[in-house]
Structure 1
Amino acid sequence: MAVEELQSIIKRCQILEEHDFKEEDFGLFQLAGQRCIEDGHINQLLEIIQDEKNKTIIKSMGWNLVGPVVRCLLRGREEDKREECFLIFDLLVKLCNPKELLLGLLELIEEPSGKQISQIILLLLQPLQTVIQKLPNNKAYSVGLALSTLWSQLSLLPVPHSEEQIQADDYGLCQCCKALIEFTKPFVEEVISDKENKENAKLKDELLKFCFKGLKCPLLTAQFLEQSEDVGNDPFRCFASEIIGFLSKIGHPVPQIILNHGRKKRTWDYLEFEEEEDKQLAESVASLTYLVFVQGIGIDQLPMVLSPSYLLQLNMEHIEVFLQRTEQSVYSKGLELLETSLLRLEDNSLCYQYLEIKSFLAVPQGLVKVMTLCPIETLRKKGLSMLQLFIDKLDSQGKYTLFRCLLNTSNHSGVEAFVIQNIKNQIDLSFKKTYNKWFAGAQLISLLDLVLSLPEGAETDLLQNSDRIMASLNLLRYLVIKDNEDDNQTGLWTELGKIENNFLKPLHIGLNMSKAHYEAEIKNSQQNNQASMCKGVCSVTVGGEEIPTMPPEMQLKVLHSALFTFDLIESVLARVEELIEIKSKSTSEENVGIK
């Protein structure tokens, strides 16, 4: 029945000119053709399309059958009809109006979700390429539209990370990346062949946008396999190499993009990036920089005369972009790029003026976020080692400036303890090697004002700040032992009264209050323990906040652990005060002896 209906419509349209076809004819043709496919009359439909007398009708109306044919191919229920379906599809691509066919194919690409995205893209990329190449004009717009649609769909696919995931390629992203390169190659070659053509200039812009989008997705988050001789095993490395190759071929080689990115507003203005696209551009160039400097793809294009400090300056902005993201794979790339850039520098060689550049302070603060918030332990440790490496590369004034910044902004006891330990190391170097004005005298006292203090005086949460307090006490103990009152190289003895008032006395009061509070909580917990046993849990409030519900013995363990921390702090505090007293008494006796 469906075949007869289709033949009837065709017979009526055969006597008409193309411009006389009515909208009703298009609708009836589509319905009848779709029913032929659904009812399995594939061979009859193929014969109708192959008939030379129907060429004009198929040219105008046949694109409506592309959707039903493609859906039939994707279902793959009737293997014996599959070959005929492919023949129909190929004929439609060959005979139909390319403009209408282009829109139809792009609509089909936009339809699916999940694993079907890659299936339909892999099926339609070659026909799509053929259709675009048949367009008589405005090819740049069509290529841009196609690439944008493809990228939008591919960006929905999860990026595989492990070697096993990449090999399995469950969602087909790796296959699609490879196919997308083959789809794009003819248009790149077209740009190269005639660079003076205005239409090709527009095509070049569309290809440039595509390359930037590819650098962002999937390459920004993609993990690369270990480098080996057989790079073909890593689809993302191959994709990255091709993208970088495209950039060079269309007149935007790696050095131009990386070295000019600081002037991007001027450099890329003709592309008319919107605000969101401009952010995307920053992430794309960051991804490119990682590929070049860490993965070594295209690094041979960079001039060898660039100094390590200049390369670090170039990369810091991109490292900041990586560390602003939340994906662990992107964090990791930022850390790798930072490590690669810093290792080129000698220790103590990075001038303090670099810290006047926004990214040079933003990156250490980004590292602090990785160290304190990232759930992956290896990345937290890597962030810590990168912060230490960055500190090592700074000159003395740079270290001093960064320490002040981190003490004022980190708001994390562990990070502050790490900074204080670094301050102690620099003071020690000043004693052992060359006198350093930044870690002695007035400059050091200014820094000690930040270190030897309690954020909220005696009311400070000593448990929350225990790491910082212990580091501060250990630094003060070191200074008392190392610096004699007569020498006073650090300026400590001049400021001792202020240190006692701002740090030691409030700490004494805070310890007494905290110990009394926790001892009372332990007593209450023990008294209530019997009543709580029937429930199996108990509740304790410390510092105005309730400890999460846990078994009574566990809560007692937590409370005793807190008391142990306070005892430890008190022990070190007592030792510091004892040393101060001994040193002061010794100096007084020496002065009396001299008299």
Structure 2
Amino acid sequence: MSEEVVEKPNKNDLHSELIKKLTSLLNNENTDDALILINDEQFSASLVDCSWDLIPIASGYLNSYNIKNKPDLFQCCVTLLENIASRCDPAETLLEFIEQAECLDNDTKFCTILRPIATCLKRLEGSRGRSLEWCINTIKSHVSELPVPENQKLEGDEIVLLDTDPAVFRIVNVYQAILPFLKLFISEVSLSHGEIVIANQRELLLSSMISLLGKPFCYLEFEDKKSLRRMLADDILKCITHLTGNPFRFFEYVEKRIMQVSNPKSFKEDYIEKDYSSTKEANHLTDLFTPTDMISDLAYANFYYLILGSDLQLPWVPCVYHPHYVLQNCLYLSSCLLKNPEYLLILKGLALIKAALVRIDPFSVDTDALELKIYSKFIEDLSQVMIYCDVREQRESSFEVFKLYFRIFTMEAKYLLIIHLYDVFNHSGLRSCLTSIVKDSVIKCLESDPIDPSFTGKRIYALLVKACKMPFLSSSDLVEISDEIIGSLNFIRFLVIRDKTNLTGVWNFTAKLETDFIHPLREGLNMSRAHYQLKIKDLEAQDKFNKSQTQNEASKSNDKISITVGGKTLPTMPTREKINFCLQAMNAFDVMESILIRVNECIEQRLLK
């Protein structure tokens, strides 16, 4: 009797049948049968072989709609993916999972797939190679595409309204998935292990944790200690301290960026074109920390803001670094924050630099420091906040920082910085602030024993030339530069009243002051006063005429008489408002004239003696 031959199912047929059945069950939302099919012994081997086809099918159901409206279907697909990650070849399936995780518009899918990716990586262990780096790059790509919160002009307690921004919810949700994923591998390479063989993985994770503090996370507010944002920031810092015992070590890389700004050619020669022969040195500068595409300036700035500028406590903060070195790096990072238009970044930049400045002793930063461009670059960026930021609290805070900043320099360094800034600053209010600092510095020089020469002699004349824009043009628009003119006149008045014995040398230059500043200013005041008196007369006649016209006719006639300040015509406004502006200008002229008269009296009295 012949034996019946039982043919085994073709392997390809089993693959096709499994994919076809599973697709049908998922389409029909028959999750129970789908889970049974996955564990069916007949298809067990096929599951391993056709994972590349199954992963995209199951991943297609991972979206926000299904997680809310079809939780069973969603969970079934999650189980299937976890099953594949735990049973199939981890190296092969990892690549497919990474490909599926590249979904910039689907946070639900991205966050969910991180779990099976972690399973694959854990199974790789010692043979992980560059697999973790690929996964981290995928995470970075997704994070970089997240939207930032709307730039809202909020003051004081209003800042809590940032919580209502949908972008904040999205950022928090994504970070809540990313951190547990990375923690799995941080625990393997934390400082408590100390094995050299995992040093590269430790540095990779360290770099990635700092980079997560950049965009968009740096756009979040961290003051609310009970908020998820604050908890996430705290969590990231704790992870960093598990990977390095010195959170200030990254100043080394910030310093390289400062050098690049100060001397781009030297930086290129030292750090890019240099041929590194030793593997150790090459690995160091393959550099997970210096290039901005690895860690952005905003990431470093936010990192040190959290350490120095907020009340977020670390287990330890190094105290061996010189405060001047810390300041130098914070100047660069603060500038990176201040030059952004976002109010929250400006707030962090001011908090960071203020925290660094209060650690500096007065009159301790010498002229050598000014060789670094960052010292002048910072004050230029700060000045933009002082002038243009439309949040009152931040303007006031920036002015406090401005005063703190000048407090740290020696008299010699302060003189050199002020001379430079007079050439840089065009805004009348800022130039007036500089003149006020000059006045305070002269007082300090006169009070020292012996007298400090930094603001005396030819130097005081050089400062007067800058402050008074000598030789002064009588045709200058006095309304536009009224602040600096009043500041300069007050400074001259202070000098001639305080320095009766010519310790500063100001009396050596009074004739030059009269010729190049006082006389042309007097002429300018007379011309400006006559101009605005005529303008007021014309505007009052126009206002009287407007009252006799209809509203539409009066509105049209408002443009007939224009007012020009600094070469620019003021925007359209009612005639009465134009009159008020002219009256304010006349008041400014009166102030200038009264101080000018007092200056003349003081000079004449001394000449008579």
**TM-score between both structures, scaled by the size of structure 2:** 0.81
Residues 277-329 of structure 1: CA distance to partner in whole angstroms, max 9, x if unpaired?
A: 26x45443333333333347676645434443343334333333333433322
For residues 162-561 of structure 1, what are the structure 2 equivalents within 5 Å? Answer: 162-163=159-160, 165=162, 171-191=169-189, 195-197=195-197, 200-225=198-223, 234-248=230-244, 253-258=246-251, 261-262=254-255, 265=271, 268-271=284-287, 276-277=292-293, 280-295=295-310, 301-434=316-449, 435-453=451-469, 457-484=473-500, 487-529=501-543, 530=545, 534-537=553-556, 538-539=558-559, 540-543=561-564, 544-561=567-584
Which whole-Å CA distance do the structure 2 matches of 1:175 and 1:455 have between them? Answer: 62
Q: Which residue in the other structure is 1:105 paired with? A: 97
Which whole-Å CA distance do the structure 2 matches of 1:351 and 1:271 have between them? Answer: 33
4+ aligned runs moved over 6 Å, structure 1: 25-29, 230-233
Which whole-Å CA distance do the structure 1 matches of 2:323 and 2:140 have between them? Answer: 36
Q: 1:241 to 1:232 in 2, by over 3 A?
A: farther
Q: Which residue in the other structure is 2:31 paired with? A: 42
Of the two structures, which has the highest relative contact order with CA contacts closer than 8 Å and spacing of 6 or more? 2
Q: Which residue in the other structure is 1:60 paired with? A: 49
Residues 120-140 of structure 1: CA distance to partner in whole angstroms, max 9, x if unpaired?
A: 343222222112223477624
Which whole-Å CA distance do the structure 2 matches of 1:317 and 1:236 have between them? Answer: 25
Q: 1:301 to 1:576 in 2, by over 3 A?
A: same
Q: 1:506 to 1:188 in 2, by over 3 A?
A: same
2:144 corresponds to 1:155: yes
Q: Which residue in the other structure is 1:572 paired with? A: 595
Structure 1 residue 33, shift from structure 2 partner? 4.1
Q: 1:196 to 1:398 in 2, by over 3 A?
A: closer
Q: Is the 8 A contact 2:31 2:72 kept in 1?
A: no
Which whole-Å CA distance do the structure 2 matches of 1:194 and 1:499 have between them? Answer: 71
Residues 243-262 of structure 1: CA distance to partner in whole angstroms, max 9, x if unpaired?
A: 322431xxx73243335653
Which whole-Å CA distance do the structure 2 matches of 1:144 and 1:185 have between them? Answer: 15
2:73 corresponds to 1:90: no
Q: 2:10 aligns with which of 11, 15, 23?
A: 15
Which whole-Å CA distance do the structure 1 matches of 2:179 and 2:70 have between them? Answer: 31
For residues 76-87 of structure 1, what are the structure 2 equivalents within 5 Å? Answer: 76=66, 77-79=69-71, 81-87=73-79
Structure 1 residue 375, shift from structure 2 partner? 2.2
Which whole-Å CA distance do the structure 2 matches of 1:515 and 1:108 have between them? Answer: 74
Which whole-Å CA distance do the structure 2 matches of 1:29 and 1:516 have between them? Answer: 95
Q: Secondary structure at the match of 1:459?
A: coil
Which whole-Å CA distance do the structure 2 matches of 1:81 and 1:207 have between them? Answer: 34
Which whole-Å CA distance do the structure 1 matches of 2:8 and 2:221 have between them? Answer: 56
Identity of matched residues, %? 24
Q: Secondary structure at the match of 1:56?
A: helix
Structure 1 residue 48, shift from structure 2 partner? 2.6
For residues 95-134 of structure 1, what are the structure 2 equivalents within 5 Å? Answer: 95-113=87-105, 116-117=106-107, 119-134=108-123
Which whole-Å CA distance do the structure 2 matches of 1:90 and 1:107 have between them? Answer: 16
Q: 1:545 to 1:314 in 2, by over 3 A?
A: closer
Q: Is the 8 A contact 1:430 1:439 kept in 2?
A: yes
Q: 1:206 to 1:433 in 2, by over 3 A?
A: closer
Structure 1 residue 563, shift from structure 2 partner? 2.4
Q: Which residue in the other structure is 1:593 paired with? A: none
Structure 1 residue 409, shift from structure 2 partner? 0.9
Q: Secondary structure at the match of 2:426?
A: coil
**TM-score between both structures, scaled by the size of structure 1:** 0.83
- In structure 2, give the amino acid aligned to 1:256: R
Q: Secondary structure at the match of 1:149?
A: helix
Task: Give unpaired runs (5+ residues) of structure 1.
Answer: 1-11, 588-595
Task: Give unpaired runs (5+ residues) of structure 2.
Answer: 1-6, 151-158, 258-270, 272-280
Q: Is the 8 A contact 1:462 1:510 kept in 2?
A: yes
Q: Is the 8 A contact 1:69 1:89 kept in 2?
A: yes
Which whole-Å CA distance do the structure 1 matches of 2:457 and 2:109 have between them? Answer: 71
Structure 1 residue 521, shift from structure 2 partner? 2.8
Q: Which residue in the other structure is 2:154 paired with? A: none
Residues 319-343 of structure 1: CA distance to partner in whole angstroms, max 9, x if unpaired?
A: 3333343332222222222222222
Q: 1:173 to 1:260 in 2, by over 3 A?
A: closer
Q: 1:352 to 1:196 in 2, by over 3 A?
A: closer
Q: 1:261 to 1:536 in 2, by over 3 A?
A: closer
Which whole-Å CA distance do the structure 1 matches of 2:408 and 2:162 have between them? Answer: 38
